[in-house]
């Protein structure tokens, strides 16, 4: 190592003397170059079996559609399918030339924060801890790329991370089975209510018929009473007094019968009104259950279609429509569902921004997240009324579409995103 000093430089003759005797005792030792620091792995240096998961997990289809056709002239940027774009990107990743370098640069740019977070890790244990934390928070794409390219990532840890990413595609199964069981229960309850409603309709018809009979009897008695009153004016002779007394007795009996029939009629009308109210309530309940059943069926179909697409051989289609880098703000919900939704949105090329719905002490955080989102959703069964009101108010003020989810399940979220696919307010900027 060179000697550093504040003394003036040695005279030139002294240098000539030292150079004239290279083997002398005063000859300085040659400088030792430090060993080069290990560098991050390049995309082309990684094993080929990793390229598919890296391209599919860490880059969006929109980014690939802009980059890949520049190095694959046979692909048309607009008409090529997402699968063709993906396969071509995987092939270009192994070449190690311009295309692979551009893909590597795009990955580094997109996930620069994750790379900085993983950079200080000094060993495999620290890397594994960072990877587990990223999985728990749903921040998989950036952490996956930062881990695989870290100079201290071992083969065992690399294979472990690859397996974790592979298993994320199976999370939707349990939620789908639960929704199907609930749908079956709703259909059985709907059938029971239909039978109960039919019985109530029959009882209502019987009460209506009885009411009509009572009304007819009352009208007949009123007609007879009017006739008797008309005849009473003509009763002048004493020979008709006995008949008049008899008629009065019959009239009293008719009045008593009329009073009895009137009471029965009032009771029947009250019973009819109560029955109509029960039928109306049951019809509202049946309509609500039908709506719930339709929603559950729609969510189950959406999950089934998404699962079939995910499990279909030789496909790499995401479970959700492509989000093209857009962000969804999810307010409320359960941590387990939020983690799964974060992974699904990331797989579709988007970002899920989550807020637990604690409005009283985290309203400022919700206001900070809103400008980053292009869509706001919240599950109505897992959020407080105050949080729901504040979320709607802030989204309306910011001009961001806001939609409620029927439940906090994965199925409700998948169904809504598929239903909103094609909405002009939800389309990416050109």
The CATH number linked to 274 is: 1.10.287
Tell which wins on pLDDT, 114 or 290. 114
* pLDDT for res 2: 36
Q: 3-class secondary structure for the chain?
A: CCCCCCCCCCCHHHHHHHHHCCCCCCCCCCCCCCCCCCCCCCHHHCCHHHHHHHHHHHCCHHHHHHHHHHCCCCCCCCCCCHHHHHHHHHHHHCCCCHHHHHHHHHHHHHCHHHHHHHCCCCCHHHHHHHHHHHHHHCCHHHHHHHHHCCCCCCHHHHHHHHHHHHHHHHCHHHHHHHHHHHHHHHHHHHHHHHHHHHHHHHHHHHHHHHHHHHHHHHHHHHHHHHHHHHHHCCCCCHHHHHHHHHHHHHHHHHHHHHHHHHHHHHHHHHHHHHHHHHHHHHHHHHHHHHHHHHHHHHHHHHHHHHHHHHHCCCCCCCCCCCCCCCEEEEECCCHHHHHHHHHHHHHCCCEEEEECCCHHHHHHHHHHHHHHCCEEEEECCCCCHHHHHHHHHHHHHHCCCEEEECCCCHHHHHHHHHHHCCCHHHCCCC
pLDDT at 27: 39
285 shares a domain with 191: yes
* Mean of pLDDT over the chain: 80
Is the residue at 389 inside a domain? yes
Confidence class for position 5, pLDDT limits 50, 70, 90 = very low
Query: Which residues form the domain of 402?
Result: 327-426
Of 154, 170, 186, the one marking the end of a domain is: 170
Residue 356 pLDDT > 50, yes or no? yes
Whether 186 and 276 map to the same domain: the answer is yes
What confidence score (pLDDT) does residue 313 get? 46
Average pLDDT over residues 150-154: 93
Total number of domains in the chain: 3
Lowest mean pLDDT among 15-24, 233-242, 351-360: 15-24
Q: What is the pLDDT of residues 99-139, one digit of tens each?
A: 899 999 999 999 999 999 999 999 999 999 999 999 999 99
Residue 262 confidence class, pLDDT cut points 50, 70, 90? confident
Percent of the chain with pLDDT strictly greater than 90:
42
Predicted local distance difference test score (pLDDT) of residue 18: 34
Q: Which of 122, 142, 170 is the last residue of a domain?
A: 170
**pLDDT score of 307:** 54
Q: What is the pLDDT of residues 394-422, one digit of tens each?
A: 999 999 999 999 999 999 999 999 998 86
My answer on whether 113 and 124 are in the same domain is yes
């Amino acid at each position: 190592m060179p000697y550093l000093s504040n003394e003036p430089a040695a005279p030139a003759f002294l240098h000539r003397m030292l150079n004239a005797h290279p083997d002398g005792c005063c000859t300085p030792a040659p400088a030792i170059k430090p060993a080069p620091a290990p560098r991050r792995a390049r995309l082309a240096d990684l094993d080929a079996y990793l390229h598919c998961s890296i391209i599919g997990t860490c880059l969006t289809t929109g980014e690939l559609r802009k980059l890949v056709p520049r190095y694959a002239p046979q692909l048309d940027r607009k008409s090529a399918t997402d699968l063709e774009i993906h396969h071509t990107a995987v092939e270009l990743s192994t070449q190690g030339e311009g295309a692979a370098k551009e893909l590597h640069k795009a990955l580094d740019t997109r996930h620069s924060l994750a790379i900085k977070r993983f950079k200080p890790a000094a060993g495999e244990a620290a890397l594994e801890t960072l990877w587990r934390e990223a999985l728990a928070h749903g921040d998989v794409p950036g952490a996956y790329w930062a881990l695989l390219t870290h100079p201290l990532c071992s083969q065992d840890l690399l294979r472990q991370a690859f397996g974790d990413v592979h298993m994320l595609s199976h999370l939707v199964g349990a939620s789908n089975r639960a929704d199907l069981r609930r749908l079956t229960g709703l259909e059985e309850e709907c059938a029971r209510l239909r039978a109960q409603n039919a019985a109530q309709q029959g009882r209502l018809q019987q009460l209506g018929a009885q009411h009509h009979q009572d009304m007819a009897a009352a009208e007949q008695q009123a007609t007879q009473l009017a006739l008797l009153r008309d005849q009473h004016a003509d009763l002048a002779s004493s020979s008709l007094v006995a008949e008049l007394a008899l008629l009065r007795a019959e009239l009293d009996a008719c009045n008593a019968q009329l009073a009895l029939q009137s009471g029965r009629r009032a009771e029947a009308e009250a019973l009819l009104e109560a029955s109509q109210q029960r039928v109306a309530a049951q019809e509202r309940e049946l309509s609500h259950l039908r709506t719930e059943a339709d929603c559950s069926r729609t969510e189950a179909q959406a999950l089934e279609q998404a699962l079939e697409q995910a499990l279909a051989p030789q496909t790499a289609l995401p479970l959700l429509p492509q989000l093209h880098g857009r962000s969804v703000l999810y307010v409320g919900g359960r941590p387990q569902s939020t983690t799964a939704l974060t992974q699904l949105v990331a797989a579709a090329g988007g970002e899920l921004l989550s807020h637990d719905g604690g409005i009283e002490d985290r309203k400022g955080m919700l206001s900070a997240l809103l400008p980053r989102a292009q869509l706001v959703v919240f599950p109505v069964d897992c959020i407080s009324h105050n949080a729901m009101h504040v979320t709607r108010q802030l989204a309306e003020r910011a001009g961001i579409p806001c939609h409620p989810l029927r439940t906090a399940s994965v199925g409700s979220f998948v169904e809504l995103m598929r239903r909103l696919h094609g909405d002009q307010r939800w389309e990416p900027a050109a």
